[in-house]
Structure 1
Amino acid sequence: MSLYLKPEHVLQGGYCNATLRKLQEPNTSIQTHNVMYPVFLLENDDAIQPVSSMPNVYRYGVNQLIPALADLVKKGLESILVFGIIETLPKDANGSHADSDSNPVMRALPKLKAAFPGLVVACDVCLCPYTSHGHCGVLQPTGVIDHAASVKRIAEVALSYAMSGADIVAPSDMMDNRIKAIKEALFSTNLGNKVSVLSYSCKFASSMYGPFRETMKSAPLAGDRKCYQLPPGAAGLAARAAARDVAEGADLLMVKPGLPYLDIVRQTKDLHPHHPLFVYQVSGEYAMISRSGDNNEMETTLMEMLLCMRRAGADCIITYFAPLVLDIISKRTAH
């Protein structure tokens, strides 16, 4: 990498397409570019499975996902966040199928970009859905994280997704220094100005991920993730984590979960006002809101929460409610 192309000095990865440019102009309204839709990809291209713990959420094979997205794109959907799920491919200690030719994300990316050239496709980058132990990195024989091996493997996966067509790679593992490794990998293949890095910079060891882990089949077999996800009360660590990722060249930042951590959203935006900030409204939040009343009450509750996230500093909200939000936006626009 050239001396003058240090990851932290490169800006263009953060506004390399129209949707990301709009996120550089924050306000408090809720428009289509302020919403990102998380989707779950199955190995079987023709499968569709309801998620029992999350009403109206499905897991799709790519041949089912494309028609489902087509309607949403017509309504204004501008970005998605893709998670891969494997059920028949073998899992191993290094997460070998995280970026193999058989991986559902790797196979779907060219099809998604061909079907929706203007749709921003972000890919979650983590090893936990693909490792036999269910942790987000590679483990030492003692069972603790092997930091160097984990960062190397995560950067390899991110680069594979980028080379297959991802517009954004989003490392969710919370390993130190993986942003730098990913940026260097992108620059090594001339993708540093074309593919953005969305860092799960402030990801907390929350109790609100249960439905997601059930959906992804990614719960750790032993132990937990508290040694690399942030303690819920640790505002100082969240500030340090975001600062670390900014220094390493992250284009976009994230706070996860959303509603219980709006103070962290505000803190992160205040400390890094020039970085677009994403907030992940996680599966536990979705489950609670889904059961908050009849349809009218639920919609009112949802939009209030999204507005509060925007007020706190969120530029884009990752939410399973994206289809409903698009309908609400469309209705408001029509009036």
Structure 2
Amino acid sequence: MEFPITRMRRLRRTAAMRSLVRETHLRPGMLLYPLFICPGESVRKPISSMPDVFNLSIDEALKEAHECAKLGIGGLLLFGLPESKDEAGTGGYADDGIVQRAIRAIKADRALDGLLVISDVCMCEYTSHGHCGIIAREGDHYHVDNDATLELLAKTAVSHAKAGADIVAPSDMMDGRVEAIREELDIEGFTEVPILSYAAKFASAFYGPFREAADSAPQFGDRRTYQMDAANPREAMREIELDLMEGADMILMKPAGAYLDIILAARERFEVPIGAYQVSGEYSMLCAAFEKGWLERERTILESLLAIHRSGADFIFTYFAKEAARLLRS
């Protein structure tokens, strides 16, 4: 049927009508909030490139967790800033590491039982060189030793599971790390702990503010030999397929906003839960526009998240999680 019989505007006439026919819905439970945990007490250190985001001591992180629980947010993603760093990133898998202590503190609080605790499994925050694995040097040349790194990633995941993490999320992009983690978790009796794999993590310019937040910038070189080339969507599908074959239970796309095509392609091909990470650069870019008055804050936040969900993401990691949850509940 053609105009005037078909009038598409009929179903847009009122807010109630638009709500009735809306195809995609955001809800607080699909949002997850990243936290950067640091040593000390009563520490709430602002991150200059990420407005309203902080490095938090465990006691302050607990306050954030309670606020998230009250808002109905689905869970937390924990990153750690250790007291000291070394070449092997030992703070990442130490039983008394900063993330391990934070997990125990959150899990000990019964008021937070409904809040998932997801641990980032990587080495970049813990190594003195800032890379996501062990460095092998040959004269003046170096490379990140993929296979030597796998054992340490598996140790890190097990230490998080022992502390009580609900989900472990390897973000390192080493080949074979999902299989290594799954095997070690199962050996240690954590057969029920799922793996959320950063299956398609691109070497992106949008990570800049995160590296300040997590104090994780590489001290030399870059991460392009292990994170993915932004130009390669077919390679992303291979990465996802391999991670699923190795035992990943869920997959994550990172970044989200500039890679909606990757999320959509994964959604059309794989029948597993898919997450997406609205990363630090996306957050900071929008915050800068809000500060200038160039974009309407509330509408833009929800529209950006809606686009990610509409493209196929079942859940979204975002620094806007608390604000978006309040808007969705209002």
TM beyond 0.5: yes
Once the two structures are TM-superposed, the CA of residue 282 in structure 1 deviates from its matched residue by 0.4
SS in 2 for 1:318: strand
**Larger RCO of the pair (alpha carbons < 8 Å, separation 6+):** 1
Once the two structures are TM-superposed, the CA of residue 296 in structure 1 deviates from its matched residue by 7.8
**2:182 alignment partner in structure 1:** 183
Once the two structures are TM-superposed, the CA of residue 97 in structure 1 deviates from its matched residue by 1.1
1:275 aligns with 2:269: no
In the TM superposition, 1:1-335 aligns within 5 A as 28-86=24-82, 88-89=83-84, 91-115=85-109, 116-142=112-138, 143-193=142-192, 195-272=193-270, 274-293=271-290, 294=293, 297-331=296-330
Structure 1 residues not aligned, in runs of 5+: 1-26
CA 1:328/1:150 → structure 2, altered by over 3 Å: closer, same or farther?
Answer: same
> In the alignment, residue 134 of structure 1 is paired with which amino acid?
G
Once the two structures are TM-superposed, the CA of residue 41 in structure 1 deviates from its matched residue by 0.2
SS in 2 for 1:175: coil
Cα deviation code 1:47-69 (max 9, x no counterpart): 11111111111111011111222
Once the two structures are TM-superposed, the CA of residue 233 in structure 1 deviates from its matched residue by 0.6
> In the alignment, residue 270 of structure 1 is paired with which amino acid?
E
Cα deviation code 1:127-170 (max 9, x no counterpart): 01111111101111232121211011101101110111000100
| Cα distance in 1 between the residues matched to 2:295 and 2:209 | 24
| Cα distance in 2 between the residues matched to 1:322 and 1:67 | 15
Relative to its length, the structure with more strand (as a share) is 2
CA contact (8 A) 2:200 2:253 kept: yes
| Cα distance in 2 between the residues matched to 1:144 and 1:45 | 37
> In the alignment, residue 306 of structure 1 is paired with which amino acid?
L
| Cα distance in 2 between the residues matched to 1:69 and 1:174 | 28
Once the two structures are TM-superposed, the CA of residue 230 in structure 1 deviates from its matched residue by 0.3
**1:14 alignment partner in structure 2:** none
SS in 1 for 2:225: coil
| Cα distance in 2 between the residues matched to 1:232 and 1:100 | 34
| Cα distance in 2 between the residues matched to 1:99 and 1:155 | 9
**1:11 alignment partner in structure 2:** none
SS in 2 for 1:230: coil
Q: CA RMSD in A?
A: 1.4
> In the alignment, residue 168 of structure 1 is paired with which amino acid?
I
SS in 2 for 1:140: strand
Rg comparison, structure with higher value: 2
Identity of aligned residues (%): 40
SS in 2 for 1:292: helix
Structure 2 residues not aligned, in runs of 5+: 1-22
User: How many residues in Structure 1 have an aligned counterpart in Structure 2?
Assistant: 301
Please identify, of 296-305 and 154-163, the stretch whose mean Cα deviation from structure 2 is larger: 296-305
